[in-house]
Every structure is written in C-alpha cells, then in structure tokens.
Amino acid sequence: MSTPTPAAPPRPDRPGCPGRPERPDLVVVANRLPVRQVPGDGGSTWERSPGGLVSALESVVRTSSMSWVGWSGAADDPEHPALTSFEQDGIRLHPVPVTDDERQGSYDGFSNGTLWPLFHDAIFVPQFHEHWWEAYRSVNRRFAERTARVAPHGAAVWIHDYQLMLVPRLLRELRPDLRIGFFLHIPFPAQELYLRLPWRAALTDGLLGADVVGFQTTVGADNFRLVTRRLLGARVEGRDVVRAGRRTHVGTYPVGIDADRVRRIASDPATVARAAAIRAELGSPRTVLLGVDRLDYTKGIEVRLRAYRGLLEAGRVDPATTVFVQIAQPSRDEAPGYAETRASVEQMAGSINGDFSALGGAAVKYLHQGQDLAELVALYRAADVMVVTPFRDGMNLVAKEYVAAQVDLDGVLILSEFAGAAHQMRQAVLVNPFDVRGLEDAIDEAVNGDRRQHRRRMASLVRGVHRDDAASWAEHFLGDLRPTPTAASA
C-alpha cells in the first residue's frame, strides 16, 4: 500500500502541451482505475487493485510511459479529492467522477443488466431500459471528454471493454489526431442476439470510431464484422471494415496473464508452505477440487456443484477424502441477477454439506470473499483439480493462472468449451458445462485418470500460457494500433 503523491502540481490539462519532459505516449481508458481507495489512519490512501487488466499491462508500464483514465469505483461528487489526477506506481491516473444515479443507470443497469447478459448468450435475460441507455451515453461522454483533455497530441489511446463502447466515436470527434484502439474483454455475441439491442446501430458505430477493434476470439471478430455490414452498410475487406472512407482493423488478440509472475509466486517457499498449510487446514484430504470465480451467473458455479453432488450421491467420490473449495469473489451486488445467483450457490453448497459433510470436515468449503494473488496461487498449488465451467466467458484468466502455478505439473485443469481460453488451451479436460453427466465424468477422469498423461498435457498448457502471455498480448495489440509501414496483422 502506498500514499498518493500529493495533488499534482498544476499541470496543463490539454492536449499536446509540453508540461513534462517525457509525455505519456499511451493512454489507457477503462471503466475502473487500477487502484482502489482504502481507509487509513490519516485519511484514505490508494492501493493497487488486484485484477487482470492492470497486471496484463504491467509490461507496458515498464517500457513506455502511460496514463490511465477511469472510475475510482466510489460514488463521486465533484468535490471528491479522488478527482484530482495523481501518480501511482509510475502511472498517471485521471479519475472520472460517476454519481450514484449514474452508477445505477450505466454500471448496474446498461453495462451489467443489458450488455453483460446479452453478450453472454442471454444466460440471464437482458433488460432494455431507455433511462439506462441515457446514463450509459452520458458516462461514456464524460470518459471521452476527460480523455480528450489529458491525451498528448498523437498519442495512442487504448479503450477497454463493454462499459465504454461509445467512447471511440465520441473521442474521435473531439480528438482526430489520436490513434484509437478498443478491446472487448467479453464475448461478442452472435448476430441474432446482438440485433435484439434497441441501440444496436449507435453502439456499433461507437466502436467504428476506433482504428483497431480487438476481440478475444475469431468468432467474436467475425460476428462483429457481420453486424457492421448488416446495420451500417460497412464494407468488409479481409479483416478490416471500411465505412465512410474510414478503415477499422478488426483483429483477434486473446488476452494472456503475467505467467512469469505467477510462476515466481508459486515457486516461492512461502507459497509452498502456505499450500501445505491449506491442505492441512482442510483436513489433509486425498483430493482437493477448486473453483475460483467472481460470483456471477455466467460462471457456472451451480453446475459444478451439481456435478460434485452427483459424484457424491453415486459413491464415485468419497467425502471423507475429498473436498471442494469454492472461492466466490463478491461482485456487482446491485446488478440484476447477482443476488439470486448468490442465493442459489449458497443454498447448493449448504445442502451438499448438510447431506455429505462429517463433523470433522466439510464436503464443500465455500468462501464469499476476495483473495489476494499470493493466497490464490497457494490455493492453485494446493488443488489437485481446478474446475472452470463458465457457460460463457470472454477468456477466463483464472484457468491460465492455475496452469502457470503448476510448477510441478501436478494439477489437472477442467475447462468449459465456452470460455475463450478453450480456443488456446486444447490440452485441458474440455467440458460442456450444460452437460452435468459429462462434467461428472470429467471430474472423475481428472481425479482418477492416468497421471502421466495429465502431466504431459499440463506441460503443454504451461508452455502455452508463457508463450501467449500478457506482454505478448499488449505488444500485438499496440503493434497494430501504432502500425509500422509494414502494418497490421490479425
């Protein structure tokens, strides 16, 4: 944890002005800032928040100067001290204020009650409300305006995710000198789903304000090209989309993790000791199964518990020697569907424990708590089998972290076919998360199958997560955003 640098000296908040000898040459725009406020003795301080994007961009911070535009996560009022730009860990941070009403309409509402479920194949029914859309538009406009004020002349601006899909177009109108990239971390759905959206043309046009639009999978990129043609009459030329004389490169950039960092933590003697302590605390079972997710209806937590229950009922798994650890990180409590999902997961964990636990130990250890990376990596090392069963997922970085932590190649990864990660991690035990019987068999196979074969498969997965890591993801995207004369790739 560290204290923020005191309010920055008055610094020209306008483009292209030579305020510092070395100007940031990359501006990241994401819904959240990579820090969170924590209360302390002498007032609040900031600390780096755990999470995928900031660690994915760590390598970029090391090689180029960077600034970041985002929301602090708190309900802001215009007098909030968080609204002053400040520097943390080498990144210049520019908070965007979001009021409580705007959070409800734009974040809980349009982002997480409309787009999130729609883009995850409508697993939960998406809701369409005009006032949510209006809040989303005005928050997107504020992000674009803030970015337009702070981006140096000619900078590369990298906008992230579904909360900010209108920003590329709005920003281009304000600052035509910028190179603008957009990356969608979640799936882009099939046409039939996307076309339900009453504001589909405006949202598509929003993305076409970018020079490069990136997706996790080729399927997502293909879906997007099709809707640009259908909704806006754009021309598709190879991978690019051309509209009104402007070309947008549409590419596939599967996001990776900082695999070296995870391996370093996993090899640390303190982690090895913690992993052993976790197993002891669990009652030294023969088998530890693990799930780690944000508590979200897309993650398929219930289905994996149902499969585990099926194995216990059939006597294929012995509750005296097996424990299922489910970490469910609290998430989006006020968005539609999340409270219901929590209730049903907790009901299921409770009923399995009621039916199968002994006094000395639980069949399911359920924690509705966030864990820091060191503790997660210790859990990854302690677990024999990692069960990742989302019904739909843009990528799923937990699967990659688990693999990077398998320095002894001992673990087995069960992975949903419908996670973006499955496109790269073909050596995992791939499952259809809608098929409970198939999932039971996969868990059985992971626990009792041929160890040598599982180790071989894990070795290949480990090579993959190190090859396709966060740094190579960022380099690939930014290479296309700041093209050399030999230009963009797929």
Question: What's the gap between Cα 68 and its chain centre?
Answer: 17
CB of residue 52 vs ligand G6P: minimum separation in angstroms? Answer: 6
CB of residue 337 vs ligand G6P: minimum separation in angstroms? Answer: 13
Closer by beta carbon to ligand G6P, 142 or else 185: 185
Looking at the chain, the number of H-run helices and the number of E-run strands are: 18, 18
Q: Which of 108, 296, 384, 393 is catalytic?
A: 393
Which residue from 435, 402, 268 is spatially nearest to 325, judged by alpha carbons?
Answer: 402
Greatest Cα-to-Cα distance within the chain, rounded to the nearest angstrom: 71
Can you give the binding site for ligand G6P, defined by CB under 6 A?
A: 31-32, 161, 185-186, 331-332, 394
Q: At what angle do helices 218-232 and 200-207 cross, to 10 degrees?
A: 120
Catalytic (active site) residue 444: no
Contact 29, 70 (CB under 8 A): yes
Closer by beta carbon to ligand G6P, 137 or else 160: 160
CB of residue 182 vs ligand G6P: minimum separation in angstroms? Answer: 13
CB of residue 397 vs ligand G6P: minimum separation in angstroms? Answer: 8
Question: What's the gap between Cα 73 and its chain centre?
Answer: 16
Question: What's the gap between Cα 30 and its chain centre?
Answer: 12
* Strands (E) located in 75-210: 86-88, 91-95, 156-160, 179-183
Closer by beta carbon to ligand G6P, 308 or else 338: 338
Sign of CA dihedral 53, 56, 59, 60: negative
Tokens 């194949």 correspond to 121
CB of residue 295 vs ligand G6P: minimum separation in angstroms? Answer: 11
The conformational region for residue 273 under phi > 0 = left, psi -120 to 50 = alpha, else beta, is: alpha
Closer by beta carbon to ligand G6P, 151 or else 164: 164
Catalytic (active site) residue 423: no
Parallel, antiparallel or unpaired: strands 35-40 and 179-183 = unpaired
Tell me, what DSSP letter sits at residue 361?
Answer: B
Parallel, antiparallel or unpaired: strands 86-88 and 287-294 = unpaired
CB of residue 479 vs ligand G6P: minimum separation in angstroms? Answer: 23
452: how many CB neighbours lie within 10 A of its CB? 8
- The dihedral over CA atoms of 342, 345, 350, 356, expressed in degrees to the nearest 10, equals -170
Closer by beta carbon to ligand G6P, 249 or else 332: 332
Q: Which of 94, 120, 160, 185 is catalytic?
A: 185
Closer by beta carbon to ligand G6P, 331 or else 472: 331
Nearest residue to ligand G6P by CB is 185
Task: Please give the positions annotated as active site.
Answer: 185, 393
